[in-house]
Amino acid sequence: MDIIELQNLRLRARIGFSPHEREGWQDVVINMRLGSELRLAGESDDPADALNYKPISKAVIQLVKSRRFALVEKLAEQVACLAILGFGAPYAEVNVQKPGALRHADSVGIRIVRRPADYARNIAYISLGSNIAPERNLRAAVALLRSGTTVLASSPVYRTPPQGDIQQPAFLNMAVKAHTLRSPLEFKRRVLDRIERKLQRQRDPHNVNAPRTIDLDIALWNDEIIEYGSKPWRIPDTEITRYAHVAVPLADLAPAYAHPMTGETLRKIADRLDASGLQKLNIDLEAELDSDFRS
């Protein structure tokens, strides 16, 4: 296996769990060794045959800038997962150093090695909605998703009219693509349900369309058709083919994804639904995530 090396990527990160670390930015140094197949590029001398490492570097920089980490282990794991699941690297060795973290030591850090087999390739697409302090609660939900799993991508946010009970504020809806090692039931109980409890989701048994601080649903899971739990819950979510506020954000994430039951792409499903009431908003969830969640 050939190796591409990205050496001494020097960044400023919000990392650490002690009070003085959480309030400021600290230096981190990231080194990566990524498996690749370089023989074709070596033969052709054609850039199209080579792995373009610039977008990998940019993705790592964005990852570090936009999130807060308690542990270097979490940062290293996220970088490795990004390289393997986001860019298809067959091998990733990641070294993260915190210069000056200990007296009498130049640096403290960790090194991890990951391969695709280390990640059960469970890719979950989650639909999110809120109409009670919706911007704040969407930011908080995305922050909590990032702390409990590996978020790979997020859709734009849409303002959408309420369904069923129309005498309530408009909703903000979006979707997130995440990687998880959990089963659907574990993911719902250990990640989604915990987030809903933390954000004080209240359910009205007499009005399933009542206002809510946050609503989190597994819309798609790999390319599988699943029933799980005692309800049972169903994947794919039946609302994908019925409501634009569900289909459109998912289509933004994965337009060519084929619905496991109908065979239609998400883009085709979204295009045939009435989306006249949807308004795309320019809300940068990641930029204000931490300060808004702490307040």
> Which positions are catalytic?
98
Q: How many CB atoms lie within 10 A of CB 104?
A: 4
Environment class of 78 (CB within 10 Å of its CB; exposed 0-12, middle 13-18, buried 19+): buried
Whole-angstrom CA distances from 234 to 32, 185, 209 are 40, 11, 19
Which token pair is 146? Answer: 């990032």
Rounded Cα gap, residues 68 and 15, in angstroms: 6
Angle (CA) 112-115-116 rounded to 5° is 140
